[in-house]
Amino acid sequence: MINLILFGPPGSGKGTQAVKLVEKYNLLHISTGDLFRYEMGNNTPLGLEAKSYIEKGQLVPDSVTIGMLKNKVDTNPDVSGYIFDGFPRTINQAEALDSLLAEKKLVIDKLLSLKVEDDEIVKRILHRGKTSGRADDNDASIIQNRINVYKQETSPVFDYYAKTGKSVLVEGMGDIDEIFERLNAEVHAI
């Protein structure tokens, strides 16, 4: 069992790299952003609630996000590991994840944080916005808000897992395969 957190600012390549890690290590990919977009696409009550936050580039409240995440983990017990993408985004979420895993006698093995410069992030997200159809990828002020939220609320999660020696910073600039090799080296070192 390997349990990873793929971490980093919006547009740092978490989704792209998660797909490649999943293929190589046979993990279950849990992206809270994807789960919210699925709910929004189906106009469920959860989706409608999430939409009002997502479209402003704000975090969906922890109570909603943690409940959804817990449900996804609980309904997929027979896996060889999880890769959490876009979760946890607050210290409260990190503590909830650790207790959820502890109940199952599991732990997070590593938090892999992709390091990408701010202007590159904005460029990548606006580029993705041309095809993603995401309202939150198409407006510079919403993107800036997402970056600010990352810095204020999410980046402390790196320090939280650093306390147990689990956080590593990985250069996220460059070629997709090159970045994947850097992540692989970190997974092999577990």
Which residues of this chain interact with ligand AMP, rule CB under 6 A? Answer: 10, 32-33, 36, 53-54, 57-60, 65, 86-87, 89, 93, 136, 146
Q: What angle do CA 70, 115, 13 make, to 5 degrees?
A: 60
Catalytic residue from among 110, 124, 146, 166 = 146
Beta bridge partners of 112: 6, 168
Known catalytic residue at 14 = yes
Residue 175: half-sphere exposure toward Cβ, Cα within 13 Å: 3
Distance CA 3, CA 187 (A): 10
Catalytic residue from among 51, 56, 134, 182 = 134
Nearer to ligand AMP, 44 or 80 (CB): 44
Shortest distance, position 60 Cβ to ligand AMP, whole Å: 4
Shortest distance, position 72 Cβ to ligand AMP, whole Å: 12
Burial class (CB in 10 A: 0-12, 13-18, 19+), 77: exposed
Known catalytic residue at 134 = yes
Shortest distance, position 3 Cβ to ligand AMP, whole Å: 16
In the block, tokens 């190589």 appear at: 24
Known catalytic residue at 89 = yes
Nearer to ligand AMP, 129 or 189 (CB): 129
Shortest distance, position 141 Cβ to ligand AMP, whole Å: 13
Known catalytic residue at 56 = no
How far apart, in Å, are the Cα atoms of 52 and each of 56, 57, 71, 104?
7, 9, 22, 33
Known catalytic residues? 14, 89, 128, 134, 146
